Amino acid sequence: MIQQLQSDFERTIEGSGSAQINTMELSGGAKINRLFHERFPFEIVKMEFDEKELRREIAFAIRNIH
């Protein structure tokens, strides 16, 4: 069951999951690609970071890895 879900997910992302091709909007991997290249950079710029807090969180994350 899990393997079937994985296979279906991979086919959907690759664009080969459906016999019908959507000609009205992006889908699958094309939609994800658009989000990461067009929307994600703008959302990152809008975020405000406290550098001291960010460094503290990174230090904890690194320590928790080991």
For the entire predicted model, the pTM comes to 0.50
**Alpha-carbon span 42 to 30, nearest angstrom:** 18
Q: In the chain, what are the domain boundaries?
A: 2-16+24-65
Local confidence band at 27 (pLDDT 50, 70, 90 cut-offs)? confident
Least confident of 18-22, 45-49, 58-62: 18-22
**Alpha-carbon span 27 to 13, nearest angstrom:** 8
Supply 48's token pair: 């405000």
**pLDDT score at 59:** 96
Give mean pLDDT, residues 1-19. Answer: 79
**Alpha-carbon span 54 to 62, nearest angstrom:** 12
Assess whether pLDDT exceeds 70 at residue 47: yes
Give mean pLDDT, residues 9-18. Answer: 74
**Alpha-carbon span 36 to 28, nearest angstrom:** 13
**Alpha-carbon span 62 to 21, nearest angstrom:** 44
